[in-house]
Amino acid sequence: MIEVDAGVERVMIVGVQTDRYEEDQFEEMMQEMVDLAQTAQGKVVCQVRQKLPHLDHRYAVGPGKLEEIKLALDHHRIDLVIFFNPLSPSMNRSIETVLQVRVIDRVQLILDIFALRAKSMEGQLQVSLAQYEYLLPRITGQGKMLSRLGGGIGTRGPGETQLESDRRHIRSQITHIKRSLDDVANHRERTRSKRQRSREFNIGLVGYTNAGKSTIMHQLTGTDTYVQDQLFATLDPLTRQFSINGHPVFTLTDTVGFIEELPTELIEAFKSTLEEIRYLDLLLHVVDASNPAHTMHEETVLRILRDLEVDHLPILTVYNKSDCLNQPFNPTISPNVLISAKNDQDMERLKEAIWRMCLEEAEEYSVRIRPEDADRIAIYQQRTLVTSLEFNEEENYYQVSGFRKLFIVD
């Protein structure tokens, strides 16, 4: 028997490979399930797989496989069964009745990790909303199980007492959270409008979870962000200013990591946060080049960007973690840059790539400034990418040339 630390839940992962999944895709996503469970502080001690055209309408798996799972529970001393496939409320209850152990699915597992990671008030509100809306149709039959187990993976966020309350109370909580989020969204909109009116080049980091976005954020801006080799290491959006070639006119916004089949509940709850992407000037699509499933990750992120209707924005694909590559890498998306966020020279190459793309999207300008208005030169230097500053002695004026966003410096 495998011994684990006291208090760590022993987890069994169950996955059904239906016709919608190719073999390689299913294997990658099952490995991702292991990573997710470990991120949620569980210990995966066994996995059960089955291949079916579609999920069994009652138990997700076939009756024979369900008996196999039941026998394995005692043998491996399982505390929690996590299904890769999304379970309907009736499926969840039927499986728990047979197995007599707590059962959650991938959606609830991801919600749980988000509850673990959210630090800001907005992040916590968003996660609570997603959890309440997911759990509302599952309240029946959950109370007894939650009381008996007293917490664990899949129960973080809204407390036990709240989850055992009647539906009317849960709905009132949802209404209250939505109102609070509306207030936060209004504040975010004011901040966003102010940023849009500025002359800064607003850049956003997007990518599959654990691609290295937070490390790049830290390297470019010097911000103390939470950097760990974990899924969903950071949730709360963060915007910081940074300089390229001595020009402090760039802002960088970190966003929540994407994942294959991101739960609808999360997309809806994080709508105001994800909408930050709409108002950016350039997206840095960070890809873990060392991950065998990087192509699938690329496709997932691009699909989500299309769903958010932001795929029209300029995108620079940043293939990260080149230091972990064991063989030559062939990028599949252009324009791109291959880097290791841990390498200072690579980060300089990334800055130059950002610089070039911003120039492509900017407006070229050239203005004359009289000596008595020389203080305006500093404004141009602060708000635009000044590439040339010369003084014409014969006609007594400064010639300032460079690139700027479409807003005109007065």
Question: Do the domain assignments include residue 228?
Answer: yes
CA distance 78 to 102: 9
Question: Do the domain assignments include residue 50?
Answer: yes
Give the pLDDT of residue 34. Answer: 95
- pLDDT band at residue 410 using 50, 70 and 90 as cut-offs: very low
**Looking at the structure, do residues 320 and 369 belong to the same domain, yes or no?**
no
Instruction: Check the annotation: does 114 bind a ligand.
Output: no
Indicate whether 377 pLDDT > 80: yes
CA distance 251 to 194: 13
Instruction: Check the annotation: does 236 bind a ligand.
Output: yes
Indicate whether 146 pLDDT > 50: no
Instruction: Check the annotation: does 225 bind a ligand.
Output: no
Instruction: Check the annotation: does 165 bind a ligand.
Output: no
Give the pLDDT of residue 145. Answer: 42
- Type of residue found at 209: T
CA distance 127 to 216: 25
Cis amide bond preceding 335, omega within 30: yes
**Looking at the structure, do residues 315 and 400 belong to the same domain, yes or no?**
no
Give the pLDDT of residue 230. Answer: 56
- The proportion of the chain whose per-residue pLDDT surpasses 90, expressed as a percent, equals 49
Instruction: Check the annotation: does 134 bind a ligand.
Output: no
Q: What is the rounded average pLDDT for all residues in the chain?
A: 84
**Looking at the structure, do residues 234 and 102 belong to the same domain, yes or no?**
no
Q: Picking from 5-14, 87-96, 142-151, which range would have the lowest pLDDT averaged per residue?
A: 142-151
Instruction: Check the annotation: does 37 bind a ligand.
Output: no
**Looking at the structure, do residues 84 and 104 belong to the same domain, yes or no?**
yes
- Cα dist from 64 to 13, 56, 60, 91, whole Å: 17, 12, 12, 16
**Looking at the structure, do residues 355 and 367 belong to the same domain, yes or no?**
no
Instruction: Check the annotation: does 243 bind a ligand.
Output: no
Give the pLDDT of residue 4. Answer: 39
**Looking at the structure, do residues 370 and 255 belong to the same domain, yes or no?**
no
Instruction: Check the annotation: does 255 bind a ligand.
Output: yes
Instruction: Check the annotation: does 147 bind a ligand.
Output: no
Instruction: Check the annotation: does 402 bind a ligand.
Output: no
Give the pLDDT of residue 148. Answer: 38
The CATH number of residue 220's host domain is 3.40.50.300
Give the pLDDT of residue 195. Answer: 55
Instruction: Check the annotation: does 180 bind a ligand.
Output: no
Q: Picking from 117-131, 232-246, 383-397, which range would have the lowest pLDDT averaged per residue?
A: 232-246
The torsion angles phi and psi of 7, rounded to 5 degrees, stand at 95, -15
Q: Picking from 43-52, 146-155, 361-370, which range would have the lowest pLDDT averaged per residue?
A: 146-155
Give the pLDDT of residue 38. Answer: 92
Give the domain extent around 379.
363-405
Give the pLDDT of residue 96. Answer: 94
Of 340, 360, 380, which residue is a domain's last? Answer: 360
Question: Do the domain assignments include residue 170?
Answer: no
- pLDDT band at residue 256 using 50, 70 and 90 as cut-offs: confident
Q: Picking from 179-183, 218-222, 227-231, 259-263, which range would have the lowest pLDDT averaged per residue?
A: 227-231
Give the pLDDT of residue 271. Answer: 67
Q: What's the token pair of residue 327?
A: 């063989």
Instruction: Check the annotation: does 288 bind a ligand.
Output: no
Question: Do the domain assignments include residue 385?
Answer: yes
Instruction: Check the annotation: does 373 bind a ligand.
Output: no
- pLDDT band at residue 217 using 50, 70 and 90 as cut-offs: very high
**Looking at the structure, do residues 284 and 387 belong to the same domain, yes or no?**
no
235/293: higher pLDDT? 293
How many distinct structural domains can be found in the chain?
A: 3
Q: Picking from 23-32, 253-262, 339-348, which range would have the lowest pLDDT averaged per residue?
A: 253-262
Indicate whether 229 pLDDT > 90: no
Instruction: Check the annotation: does 208 bind a ligand.
Output: yes
Instruction: Check the annotation: does 254 bind a ligand.
Output: yes
Indicate whether 82 pLDDT > 90: yes
Question: Do the domain assignments include residue 157?
Answer: no
Instruction: Check the annotation: does 183 bind a ligand.
Output: no
**Looking at the structure, do residues 25 and 81 belong to the same domain, yes or no?**
yes
| Residue recorded with tokens 């939650």 | 146
Instruction: Check the annotation: does 144 bind a ligand.
Output: no
Question: Do the domain assignments include residue 188?
Answer: no
**Looking at the structure, do residues 329 and 386 belong to the same domain, yes or no?**
no
- pLDDT band at residue 140 using 50, 70 and 90 as cut-offs: low
Q: Average the pLDDT over 356-383 and give the result.
A: 90
Instruction: Check the annotation: does 92 bind a ligand.
Output: no
The CATH number of residue 70's host domain is 3.40.50.11060
Give the pLDDT of residue 144. Answer: 44
The residues with which 17 forms a beta bridge, in sequence order, are 51
pTM of the model: 0.79
Q: Average the pLDDT over 3-14 and give the result.
A: 75
Give the pLDDT of residue 226. Answer: 52
CA distance 274 to 254: 11
Instruction: Check the annotation: does 198 bind a ligand.
Output: no
**Looking at the structure, do residues 341 and 382 belong to the same domain, yes or no?**
no
**Looking at the structure, do residues 318 and 307 belong to the same domain, yes or no?**
yes
Indicate whether 131 pLDDT > 90: no
Question: Do the domain assignments include residue 316?
Answer: yes
Q: Write down the H helix ranges in 86-166.
A: 89-99, 106-117, 121-135, 142-149, 160-163
Instruction: Check the annotation: does 351 bind a ligand.
Output: no
Instruction: Check the annotation: does 207 bind a ligand.
Output: yes
Element of type H or E holding 316? strand 315-320
Of 114, 144, 166, which residue is a domain's last? Answer: 114
Q: Which tens digit of pLDDT belongs to each residue from 335-366?
A: 999 999 999 999 999 999 999 999 988 889 99
Question: Do the domain assignments include residue 164?
Answer: no
Of 80, 114, 148, which residue is a domain's last? Answer: 114
194/204: higher pLDDT? 204
Nearest to 146 by CA among 182, 181, 103, 82: 103
CA distance 249 to 385: 8
